[in-house]
Amino acid sequence: MALQSKHKVDTSFSMSSMTDIIFLLLIFFMLTSTFITPSGLPVNLPSSKSSTIVMQRVSVTITPDRRFYINDKRVTRDLIEIELAKALQGKEGVVVLHVDKSVPVEYLVDVASIATSLKAKVSIATKPTK
């Protein structure tokens, strides 16, 4: 007389639900990591009470020694308009200005007016106050 149970326990483990969760987390982190693109150049940004995150397309940096960089590529002051037009070509017109707080305002205004003449939205990068 052979007694066998009709209810057998399946010892295999399905990883499909675990891989789905990992895949969704991977997509989430990939999407959220592209929202913040810090400038690679060290500048001492001014402080502000409200600091919003803007989707950065083109970054213009002015260092304390009055050097201009567009997307971490050094340009002269005379060629800013040409290089900015190239950088904005085919992209949404958003320019984020990373200007050191020791730089005179006239440099900021010059670059902002060039970006505005190219029909781009201008945003100034700041660090939040504590």
pLDDT at 69: 92
Q: What share of the chain is helix, strand, coil (3-state, %, to 5)?
A: 35, 20, 50
Whole-model pTM: value is: 0.59
Q: For residue 104, give the CATH number of its domain.
A: 3.30.420
In a domain, 6, yes or no: no
Higher pLDDT, 11 or 55: 11
Residues 24-68 pLDDT 10s = 999 888 877 755 555 556 666 666 666 555 565 788 889 989 899
Residue 89 has pLDDT above 60, yes or no: yes
Tell me, yes or no, whether 38 lies in a domain.
no
Q: Is residue 2 part of a domain?
A: no
Strands 73-75 and 68-70 come out as: antiparallel
Is there a domain that residue 81 lies in?
yes
Q: Which of 51-55, 113-117, 119-123 has the lowest mean pLDDT?
A: 51-55
Is 55 domain-assigned? Answer: yes
Does residue 96 sit within a domain? yes
In a domain, residue 110? The reply is: yes
Number of structural domains (the chain) is 1
Q: Which domain holds residue 113?
A: 47-128
